[in-house]
Amino acid sequence: MDLRHLAYFVAVAEELSFTRAAARLHVVQSGVSATIRALEQHLRADLFERGPQRIALTDAGAALLPEARAVLDAAQGARDAVARVRGGLRGTVHVGAMTSVTILDLPGLLGRFTADHPGVTVRLRAAPSGSAGLAQALLDGEFDLAFLSDIDRPPTGLDIQNLATVRMVAIVPADWPGSAVTLEQLAERPFIDSPAGFGNRVVVDRAYAAAGLQRRVALEVVEIGTAPEYVRHGLGVSIMPAFSVPADDPGLRGLPIAGAELWWTLSLATATRRRPTAATRTFLELAKDYVRRG
């Protein structure tokens, strides 16, 4: 067994496709298949269940995956030590991100990082299940770091640093009366919100539970930036971070919530059990400069 065996195994395990793994590794598919077969023979265990349409990890494969990642991390750490002496970073940084979070200049961050460190590849992926899904993927070793928001039950094993805190406001139609609104008044209308697991949904659910009120979520949207569109078309109201309210939109109002203060937090997290590579540490430090404040 060598590092190449483990790297090929991790690629197939993460992609759940020999074809996609081969493309990711820039090798032919037959080479990936042969390497996995050799690894299985060496370990005397099947690592994947192979079907006509899909593959899946066996119990043995699932047990090997975190260990393989740990070995590859250690090997990357050794490369980093040499790279620091020679100058220049190498490797890959796997980043988990949320969508429609405009207070983070993610394109600017990625552009600056790749320009400064051309020897590092950044792989960016969003989690459709929100911050809860990103946190679990981080613990599972799919990401080196992830941008998160509030989590209902934060899992152990994460190092989290807060980057920004943003007040949440009610998004209502332009003809809504008054200069503020209460949670009770909003509960009289259907809600547009994110699915369970998203940070903004966690904050609003907690606020209503604390107030002893119930609301009806009529529509769930994955991208928080699209919620105002549904409000504009008369489909309900929403509570979202202030940055998601379009400026100077004649069809909408962003109102403060009387009697309650709701705050949304942007954080950056890594897994405690995985030692960040030099490239990951550099990315973590640079990220702080690309949070839009004010």
DSSP β-ladder status, 252-255 and 145-148:
unpaired
Beta strands in the chain (DSSP E): 48-50, 55-57, 91-97, 120-126, 145-148, 158-173, 191-193, 217-220, 238-241, 252-255, 263-271
Q: Is 291 exposed, middle or buried (0-12, 13-18, 19+ CB in 10 A)?
A: middle
pLDDT of residue 85 exceeding 80: no
pLDDT digits (tens, 9 = 90+) for 187-234: 999 999 999 989 999 999 999 999 999 999 999 998 888 999 999 999
Average pLDDT, the chain: 90
Q: How many CB atoms lie within 10 A of CB 9?
A: 27
Measured between alpha carbons, how far is 249 from 253 in angstroms, rounded to an integer? 8
Place of tokens 């969508």: 99
pLDDT at 153: 79
What is the DSSP secondary-structure string of 170-181? EEEETT--SS-B
